[in-house]
Amino acid sequence: MNSMRAVAIFPEILPENLIEFKAVATKVLANVQAQRNILRYDLFFTEDFKQCVVLEEFESPDGVIEHVKKNADLLNELTRLGGKIQGSIFPLSQDGEAIQSIKKNWDSKFHSHFAGKI
């Protein structure tokens, strides 16, 4: 199993952007429903609706790359409305081309798996 989890935070949603942010996020969710390699994709807002946290789980690191490519325009729109994504990546393995590509090209924090219940 080479699944991967990620957390993406949109850190600064202005009140005047909230309705549009939710509309764009709804479009992303519709696309996500059609992507088989996405196991989980949950959006949460802070109580004051100033931040959105996305909890994601993919079958493999390739899945997150595919997701970003397929939704690039919408993700750029969410970034415009909610601030630059603060990302964290949680792969179960550090092996593979996709992981190396993400490490090299993305501004995300990487975490190494130590132990867990699988």
DSSP string, 61-73: HHHHHHHHHHTHH
Q: Measuring CA to CA, which residue among 88, 79, 39 is closest to residue 59?
A: 39
Dist CA 34 CA 68 (whole Å): 14
Q: Which residues pair with 4 in a beta bridge?
A: 58, 91
Q: Does any domain span residue 14?
A: yes
Q: What confidence tier does 118 reach under pLDDT thresholds 50, 70, 90? A: low
Q: Does any domain span residue 13?
A: yes
The residue behind tokens 């949109």 is 10
How many independent structural domains does the chain possess? 1
Q: Does any domain span residue 58?
A: yes
Q: Does any domain span residue 71?
A: yes
Q: Quote the pLDDT of residue 1.
A: 57
Convert the pLDDT of each residue in 4-35 to its tens digit.
999 999 999 999 999 999 999 999 999 999 99
User: Which CATH number is 50's domain given?
Assistant: 3.30.70.100
Q: Does any domain span residue 22?
A: yes
Parent domain of 75:
4-110
What's the pTM?
A: 0.91
Average pLDDT over residues 68-91: 96
